[in-house]
Chain A
Amino acid sequence: MSDRTSATLHARVPLFTIWLAMLVGSLLWAGGARAGEGAAGLLLRVDEGHYRPAPRLSAILTVTVSGPVATAHLEQRFRNTGDQWLEGIYLFPLPDDAAVDHLTMRIGDRLIEGRIAERQAAKRAYEQTKSRGNAAALIEGERPNLFTASVANIPPRADITVRLSFQTRAEWHGDRYRLHLPTVVAPRYLPPLVIAETATGSANSSVVERLVDGGRITPPIRIPGNGNPIEIAVTIDAGMPLRLVDSDSHAIRIEEMAGGATRVRLETGAAPADRDFLLAWAPDIGAAPWPILFDEVIDDTRYLSLLVMPPNPDGVGAAPTLPRDVIFILDRSGSMHGESIEQTKTALADAIDRLDRRDRFNIIHFSNTTGQLFSAPKPATPNNRNQAKRLLRGITADGGTEMLPALRRAFDTGAAPDRLRQIVLLTDGAIGNERDVLALAAEKLGAARLFPVAIGSAPNTYLMSRLARFGRGKVTLINDPSQTGQRMADLFEHLSAPAVTDLSVTLPDGGGEIFPLPIADLYRGEPLVVSARLAATAGGSVQIKGRIADQEWAAALPLQDARSHHGIGRLWARDKIRWLQERAILDGADGLKAAVVPIALRHGLVTRYTSLLAVSETADRPPEETLDSRRIAGNLPKGWTPPTASGDPASAAPQPSAPRMHKIGMGRSASLTLPKTATPAPLWIAVGIGVVLIGFILLMIVGRVRPTG
């Protein structure tokens, strides 16, 4: 017995040494000893080196609404509180369809009119004026809804005010108008995949260039976020009493004006620019404002903006709807892995339950391979629904994202003429060949309507919104996978009630340009909104045709009923430029600038290629004084968690438990979660070696023991 023990010990001692050595070896393999002396004490910190105040900004937004058209003036006052001459740069948002067309700059008692110019030329002129010491203001378009104001040579303890004008439209929802005026730029999550966008841009775009651009549209953030006060005043000139005026975003004060107008102001006068201003109003019941036709004649051209509500069949019970063919395309690629795919599967099963018995459906699913439920759409019978659910249960997310073959299959299945064909595409859009996908959609979609549903925190909204436009559908963005069920239920509810399809608008002179192009279907409660251009001499009516269920619907709007309204031409120009930008994805971006610039210059619009510039002719800053340039921080949108200045949990201020970013829905957290980047490889290797060694030890024990035993 003692013999055996000592034999074992003898064997164990060297083996243990080897084992330990190997374990240490694998530890070293795992990356060596902790480097950095006290490095863990270094925290991210705010750069506090050389603090000089940026100009203080305050703004006044004055809006006049007439029918659906809102004319707005935004006055931004850049106040220099220091002793240095300053340049202030401020990034600010405007509504998506804002047509920015006019700029004036006020310095002291001088008033300087701005002019529109090509972007590069305007930038050069601004820089020259700036270095000469003259006051200058420049408005540049970064995105259709993001603009930069640069104001140079603000004198010490004085201010410069820039005032710019824009037009936008109020939207009609259900029974009321809604106006959405953004005041704050959300820190953007720029999904890496937007890089693919550059494939259609200039040939020398690069990751790094996109980065620079990313810098332009990501402002510094002010903490605490209660600066940049903005005053808002909206005058609603409905020409009739209003039944309702309401804001979901701010406390408001409502005044009746002489002449039937209503004025709305913020209860507090001014509020920090930290959330969008939402205003809703409704005319008195029975005084439905339809149809609305505005025009503006510029030289020999008449511009039109029209709003028509199709007859509402609500009075006669459920509206007869067209039977549908619904094709669901489900992305089951690896990037959908996790909550995305699970939520999508559940929502899809619900959608299938929601189908009418007259409807037919099919499911096409893809990763790098494509599969489908039925070879052709089948009626939504209980049996077929169950078959669909069985298929969904078996689907897991893995593999690449080959969207083209799946779309081809969906587009190729023959369309039935007496049915409305809806294609619902459920994907995160993580693909690189956007252009091929869009080209295919434009070419093959035919009469089908396409409804992309973008899932996940970084969906490719660029691709999705364009697909929706080509497919006369709508895009649904789902940032937070836990909302998938609700958002998709809303969408499918909406899809089940098409009110008017196959809409067309004909102008009296037969030609003209009408936007949007193509015109999307209307769903219940939606009006038709169109802008058009025609010869000023043409008379007659605008003809509207469409189909309500299986009935033809037509309406005529005589041109002489049009109310003249300033800014209608610019709204048309804005719509046309947007259309050109969408076309560029198919036709290539080569001609885009050449097409956009003349329209923008003619209508005085700020675009990606044109800027508004105001320069002072008098030298303000003496040559011996230097100029400091400061970006003006934006507020963090209300409800977002401010980024902690240090990662130390003890020093971090208590955080509001409000959901981050998802609340607003356009971006992501102001802090970024860095992914886990350790693999279990070293652990497995170490454990494996350990187990092998234990096995060897046992073998040796057994081997050694045999001769003595």
Chain B
Amino acid sequence: MKGRRPVVRALALGLVFAGLAVSARGAYIPAKAELAQWLIGRAWATTRSGGRPTAPWPWADFQTVARVNVPRLGETLYVLSNASGRSLAFGPGLVWRAPATMIIAGHQDTHFRFLDRLVADDRIHVEPARGAATMFRVAERRILVGNELPLGQFGDRDRLILSTCWPFDGIAGERPDRLLIIAE
């Protein structure tokens, strides 16, 4: 018994450190998401103040296309030009912009966590890289079963659709559905 104790102890310490490492890896994702938005915000400010489009960091593989602001929740986010897995780690990405519809997707557990807190009539400002901002109002909240959004069903009106994975409650596993916030 006595001889096994240091082994158990070492094993226990190992578990503690392994656990810390895994948690750190998990914590790194939201930290990266926050830091990236901050850096992108800096680059955005340069671009908006008349400078050339600036990359937030030299190896960034996207452009910043818009700033989205929700005054009621105090959320400000920079939208990236694509919604690849790599880009989404840094910010919500533009998925589609037709018919008269702009669709933005973001991670449900970082940038787009606030989607669940949006209610009807919340204002959303979209400020594009050039030109004047447009204000949208949240009109509807829909759950899309599956991840295939049928097009051609939207009318001619300008719309903004924010998309994130649904449901919000799991910590693991598949989230096959999508929460859509539709603003007009």
Binding site for B on A (CB under 8 A): 26-27, 30-36, 39-47, 187-190, 192-193, 195-196, 198, 203-212, 214-215, 217-221, 333-335, 337, 367-368, 399-401, 430, 432-433, 631, 643-649, 669-699, 701-702, 705-706, 709
Query: Would you call A368 and B59 a contact (CB within 8 A)?
Result: yes
* Residue in B closest to A190 when the chains form the complex, CB atoms: B98
Query: Would you call B20 and A39 a contact (CB within 8 A)?
Result: no
What 0/1 pattern do residues 58 to 77 of B give for CB contact below 8 A with A?
A: 11110101100000000000
- Alpha-carbon gap, A667 to B80, bound state (A): 22
* Residue in B closest to A206 when the chains form the complex, CB atoms: B131
Q: Among residues 121 to 173 in chain B, which have CB atoms less than 8 Å away from a CB atom of chain A?
A: 126, 128-132, 134, 141-153, 155-156, 158, 163-172
* Cβ 8 A contact of A679, one of B63, B105, B109: B109
Instruction: Give the 4 A-B CB pairs with smallest separation, nearest first.
Output: A688-B23, A206-B131, A684-B26, A643-B150
Which residues of B lie under 8 Å from residue A30 when comparing CB positions?
A: 109, 168-171
What 0/1 pattern do residues 1 to 38 of B give for CB contact below 8 A with A?
A: 11001001101111111111111111111100000000
- Alpha-carbon gap, A52 to B150, bound state (A): 22
Query: Would you call B26 and A670 a contact (CB within 8 A)?
Result: no
Query: Would you call B19 and A688 a contact (CB within 8 A)?
Result: yes
The range of chain B's interface size is 35 or more
Contact A673-B97, Cβ < 8 Å, known A31-B169, A683-B26, A692-B15: no
Other A-B pairs beyond A44-B144, A214-B100, 9, CB < 8 Å: A34-B168, A195-B65, A220-B152, A334-B86, A681-B30, A686-B171, A686-B172, A695-B13, A699-B9
- Alpha-carbon gap, A518 to B96, bound state (A): 35
- Alpha-carbon gap, A647 to B153, bound state (A): 13
Query: Would you call A674 and B163 a contact (CB within 8 A)?
Result: yes
Query: Would you call A683 and B53 a contact (CB within 8 A)?
Result: no
Query: Would you call A31 and B65 a contact (CB within 8 A)?
Result: no
Q: Does B43 contact A (CB under 8 A)?
A: no
* Residue in B closest to A693 when the chains form the complex, CB atoms: B19
Which residues of A lie under 8 Å from residue B86 when comparing CB positions?
A: 334, 337
Query: Would you call B128 and A675 a contact (CB within 8 A)?
Result: no
Which residues of B lie under 8 Å from residue A671 when comparing CB positions?
A: 148-151
Query: Would you call B26 and A678 a contact (CB within 8 A)?
Result: no
Query: Would you call B131 and A208 a contact (CB within 8 A)?
Result: yes
* Residue in A closest to B100 when the chains form the complex, CB atoms: A215
Which residues of A lie under 8 Å from residue B110 when comparing CB positions?
A: 679, 681
Contact A335-B15, Cβ < 8 Å, known A44-B142, A675-B88, A679-B107: no
- Alpha-carbon gap, A699 to B30, bound state (A): 30
Query: Would you call B116 and A32 a contact (CB within 8 A)?
Result: yes
Contact A679-B129, Cβ < 8 Å, known A699-B13, A702-B5: no
Query: Would you call A683 and B59 a contact (CB within 8 A)?
Result: no
* Cβ 8 A contact of A682, one of B2, B26, B58: B26
In the assembled complex, 29 residue pairs joining A and B whose CB atoms fall closer than 8 Å, in A order, are: A27-B169, A30-B109, A41-B143, A47-B153, A47-B155, A207-B65, A211-B98, A214-B98, A215-B98, A218-B98, A221-B152, A333-B61, A399-B61, A643-B151, A646-B145, A647-B148, A674-B95, A674-B163, A677-B106, A678-B107, A678-B108, A684-B25, A687-B26, A688-B25, A695-B18, A695-B19, A696-B12, A699-B9, A701-B8
Which residues of B lie under 8 Å from residue A36 when comparing CB positions?
A: 141, 143
- Alpha-carbon gap, A197 to B116, bound state (A): 34
* Cβ 8 A contact of B103, one of A193, A400, A672, A697: A672
Residue of B22, B29, B86 with highest tally of chain A CB at under 10 A? B22
- Alpha-carbon gap, A649 to B148, bound state (A): 11
A457 → B minimal CB distance (Å) = 11
Query: Would you call A685 and B144 a contact (CB within 8 A)?
Result: no
* Cβ 8 A contact of B97, one of A214, A648, A694: A214
Which residues of B lie under 8 Å from residue A400 when comparing CB positions?
A: 55, 58-61
Which residues of A lie under 8 Å from residue B16 when comparing CB positions?
A: 691-692, 695-696, 699
Contact A692-B23, Cβ < 8 Å, known A46-B153, A643-B151, A672-B149: yes
Contact A675-B99, Cβ < 8 Å, known A27-B171, A681-B29: no
What 0/1 pattern do residues 78 to 112 of B give for CB contact below 8 A with A?
A: 00011111101100011111111111011111101
Contact A195-B9, Cβ < 8 Å, known A670-B151, A696-B16: no
Query: Would you call B19 and A690 a contact (CB within 8 A)?
Result: yes
Query: Would you call A188 and B116 a contact (CB within 8 A)?
Result: no
- Alpha-carbon gap, A702 to B9, bound state (A): 7
- Alpha-carbon gap, A701 to B5, bound state (A): 10
Which residues of A lie under 8 Å from residue B165 when comparing CB positions?
A: 676-678
- Alpha-carbon gap, A695 to B131, bound state (A): 56
- Alpha-carbon gap, A450 to B142, bound state (A): 48
Which residues of B lie under 8 Å from residue A670 when comparing CB positions?
A: 150-152
Q: Does B184 contact A (CB under 8 A)?
A: no
* Residue in A closest to B155 when the chains form the complex, CB atoms: A47
Which residues of A lie under 8 Å from residue B85 when comparing CB positions?
A: 675-676
Query: Would you call A368 and B15 a contact (CB within 8 A)?
Result: no
B107 → A minimal CB distance (Å) = 5
* Cβ 8 A contact of B61, one of A35, A190, A401: A401
- Alpha-carbon gap, A432 to B64, bound state (A): 10
B4 → A minimal CB distance (Å) = 10
Which residues of B lie under 8 Å from residue A221 when comparing CB positions?
A: 151-152
A601 → B minimal CB distance (Å) = 30
- Alpha-carbon gap, A26 to B93, bound state (A): 26
